[in-house]
């Protein structure tokens, strides 16, 4: 089970998901319809790449990326 804490700028919420061993961050996001290029994902205050594997008991934070010009 992995807990995802989602920060969408205007609200924050968390949800728990059952995941298969070896599931990557990219696969996890794809399964939930979240565009990888639009978010940063962290675990224990470390940014994760899309190839990082999730582990049982992880709490990952998913933050919207803000771009401006």
**What is the Cα–Cα distance from 37 to 48, expressed in whole angstroms?**
13
pLDDT tens for 2-37 read 999 998 878 999 999 999 989 999 999 999 999 999
Question: In the chain, what is the straight-line distance between the N-terminal and C-terminal CA atoms, in Å?
Answer: 39
Q: How confident is the model at residue 1 (pLDDT cuts 50, 70, 90)?
A: very high
What confidence score (pLDDT) does residue 8 get?
A: 82
* Residue 65 backbone phi and psi in degrees, to 5: -90, 135
Predicted TM-score (pTM) of this structure: 0.87
Is 48 a residue whose pLDDT tops 70? yes
What confidence score (pLDDT) does residue 69 get?
A: 61
Task: Give 57: exposed, middle or buried? Use CB within 10 Å, 0-12, 13-18, 19+.
Answer: exposed
């Amino acid at each position: 089970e992995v807990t995802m804490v989602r920060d969408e700028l205007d609200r924050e919420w968390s949800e728990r998901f059952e995941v298969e061993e070896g599931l990557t961050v990219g696969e996890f996001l794809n399964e939930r319809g979240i565009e990888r290029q639009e978010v940063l994902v962290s675990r224990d205050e470390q940014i994760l790449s899309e190839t990082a594997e999730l582990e049982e008991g992880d709490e990952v934070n998913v933050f919207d990326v803000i771009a401006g010009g």
